[in-house]
Amino acid sequence: KRYVSNRKEAKDHGDVGILLGSPIKDGDRVVVVEDVTTSGKSMEETVPKVRAAANVTIVGLMVSLNRQEVGLSGDVSKTALDEVAETYGFPTNAIVSMAEVTEHLYNRECQGRVVINDTIKTAIDEYYKQYGCK
């Protein structure tokens, strides 16, 4: 399987250049990999870069964390990740969502301390009232 991730800036060590991952060539089917999806804006840069690098078919997007925030359209009924799928026509998936992370860490110890206590949970809830999907 071919995979590719867009770097913010080119590197001259490790995987050099702007695209990290498998070298791609015409005819490849590629999965784009990202660490997190917030608004989906990064895909506006990534999709054209991948398609300019070779004549490939992007078959999906896999992200580590879906922050479950509203996408660029401002439609509060869908996440940015859902909007990316609609805009570009390929499936999107996340390993974990912010809701899952919050639920798992809320009032639980992790490495000797509670990561999300009542105060932090309240702040997260307030943040999602403003930026999250409904």
Catalytic residues: 11, 13
Task: Specify burial of residue 58 (Cβ count, 10 A radius: 0-12, 13-18, 19+).
Answer: buried
CB 6 within 8 A of CB 50: yes
Closest CA to 64 of 90, 40, 96, 32: 96
- C-alpha pair distances (Å), 88 with each of 4, 22, 39, 47, 101: 16, 21, 14, 8, 27
One-letter amino acid for residue 116 of the chain: I
φ, ψ (nearest 5 deg) of residue 7: -90, 150
